[in-house]
Amino acid sequence: MSILTWTWIIVGLSFALYIGIAIWSRASSTKDFYVASGGVPPLANGMATAADWMSAASFISMAGLISFMGRDGSMYLMGWTGGYVLLALLLAPYLRKFGQFTVSDFVGTRYYSNAARTVAIVCSIFVSFTYVAGQMRGVGIVFSRFLEVDIVTGVLIGMAIVFFYAVLGGMKGITYTQVAQYCVLIFAFMVPAIFISIMMTGHVIPQLGFGAQLLDGSGYVLDKLDGLHHELGFSDYTSGAKGTIDVFFITAALMFGTAGLPHVIIRFFTVPKVRDARKSAAWALIFIAILYTAAPAVAAFARVNMINSVSNKPYESAPQWVKNWENTGLIKWEDKNQDGVIQYQAAKATNELKVDRDIMVLANPEIAGLPNWVIALVAAGGLAAALSTAAGLLLVISTTVSHDLLKKMIKPDIGEKQELMAARVAAGAAVMIAGYFGINPPGFVAQVVAFAFGLAASSFFPAIIMGIFSKKTTKEGAISGMLIGIVFTAAYIVYFKFINPAANVSENWLFGISPEGIGTLGMLLNFAVATAVSKVTVAPPKKVQEMVQYIRIPKGAKEAVEH
């Protein structure tokens, strides 16, 4: 069967599964809609968290970035993985013990102020919409290639699916849908990785194949890549081209941004106990590690195969995958010297082939000549990754509007049914706005996601950390810090990416820090401002300080000390 037929079958079956789960687990109360009634088992929550966290950027774009950037691309791998560990150890158990529905709720309660809650609401919506733009773009890319529709149509189809199970099921429906989506995405990522590892190195485990010799006798995988890069004028695959400071700041922004992402944090409100939050964090880390340890191998295999299949080859005899992806506009060939041969080089003046980084994982099975059903399976995996995260983000937006804004601030006496209806209406509106950003994104998938992490790092992370571990941080300090952090970070990104993109070079960056890494500096400003303002303002009320103490001490610890 053709790729298109296989794609319709596999994607259709996966979508039917998601919709079936949403109908089975539809929300009947606000607690169902917001936190799945707090009754999700740790194993299932760990799998759902992994799917929620491993977005289109993880599945589609991360290996593509590593494939093109080599060592420099590893900052995404290190930042996102390190950030999850930070989240699991420093935030998840304490926020679960707090026991509310949202991050904005924690900020508003901990900092005893509707002003703090409002700032948190704005930050939450801003970060979530920035992040969800990348997910919807990923959906459009997958549909445009494998279902042979344009990206706009692909985004609209994705919107319809997410709208159905997010609006109907809320967190309860999303959680169990994400369990299914994790199974689909991990199977879809690992099957071609194993196939290609066997074909190229003879190793069944891709992680081992990454450090092995190629079967064609041309040396080790990384040595082969360094040699190919030398020939084509690129920097060594294993050395990278970015400055050390920028790599450090981007990695840190991704790490602290992960720990401040509201849609990941809210997952730990869905388990019955604090102990279960720790267990589900551990399970999620295991599930995430399967894909993340395989990504560098997938990136290297794809890069070797891509260069070997197109560089210095006549366009007329180019492999079919090039023609397939040309139809989407994500690969472009311009015969600059009119010789009919594809010149793929580092120098822009002579390079004739432009390849979008976001296609590398999706095109990898085609480049390697794998069966059509494997190619279709990868399409289903990419959609699962994008839709699972998009649903989580849209739920955050919906919950923030209905619970934090409407219930807590505008209309405290709103009834249960009215609040649930407001949550569903907000989710529907969020889907529409997300679709617009998916059609008109501000960058490629992983880049857009990197901005979201930077914004989360500069706004939420300091407020949450200081809210848990410092009794002395005041509402004035937290509000000032969040505002300074997110305004500085957003202004820096907007200037270099939209207002004056021509100036977006390392010579013009502050301290040599790119827009992708500026969130770390914004975070440091947040901490500094919050600390300074807290020292000159009235200390938090005793009740708030007691709440901080309660959150930080594990259950039973006080009794153990006393006895």
pLDDT at 41: 82
What is the per-residue pLDDT across 21-62, written as a single tens digit (0 to 9) for each?
777 766 666 666 665 556 678 888 888 888 877 777 778 778
Question: For residue 449, is pLDDT > 70?
Answer: no
Angle, CA 127 vertex, CA 357 and CA 525 arms, to 5°: 105
Angle, CA 83 vertex, CA 79 and CA 89 arms, to 5°: 155
The span from the CA of 119 to the CA of 116, in Å, is: 5
- Those residues whose C-beta lies under 8 Å from the C-beta of residue 563, and which sit 6 or more positions away, are none
Contact 459, 526 (CB under 8 A): yes
Token pair for 50: 């992994």
159 HSE (CA, 13 A, CB side): 22
Report which residue type is found at 73.
G
Strand partners, 213: 220
pLDDT at 324: 81
What is the per-residue pLDDT across 355-380, written as a single tens digit (0 to 9) for each?
888 788 888 888 888 888 888 888 88
Question: For residue 558, is pLDDT > 70?
Answer: no
Question: For residue 556, is pLDDT > 80?
Answer: no
Across the range 291-320, mean pLDDT stands at 87
* Residue 554's pLDDT band (cuts 50, 70, 90): low
Separation in Å, CA 76 to CA 247, 378, 414, 521 = 10, 21, 43, 18
pLDDT at 35: 57
Name which residue leads in pLDDT, 109 or 328: 109
Question: For residue 387, is pLDDT > 80?
Answer: no
What is the per-residue pLDDT across 342-358, written as a single tens digit (0 to 9) for each?
888 878 878 888 888 87
Q: Which long-range contacts (CB under 8 A, 24 or more apart) does 38-42 make?
A: 38/269, 38/270, 38/271, 38/272, 39/270, 39/272, 40/175, 40/270, 40/271, 40/272, 40/280, 41/271, 41/276, 42/271, 42/276, 42/279, 42/280, 42/283
Across the range 114-135, mean pLDDT stands at 77
Question: For residue 446, is pLDDT > 60?
Answer: no
- Those residues whose C-beta lies under 8 Å from the C-beta of residue 89, and which sit 6 or more positions away, are none
The span from the CA of 303 to the CA of 358, in Å, is: 13
Least confident of 123-137, 170-184, 196-210, 443-457: 443-457
* Residue 135's pLDDT band (cuts 50, 70, 90): confident
Name which residue leads in pLDDT, 233 or 518: 518
Token pair for 547: 């709440």
Token pair for 51: 């799917």
pLDDT at 190: 92
Alpha helices in 233-371 (DSSP H): 244-259, 262-265, 274-310, 320-326, 360-367
What is the per-residue pLDDT across 55-85, written as a single tens digit (0 to 9) for each?
777 787 788 888 888 888 888 888 888 887 8
Token pair for 317: 């005899």
How crowded is residue 505: how many other Cβ atoms within 10 Å of its Cβ? 10
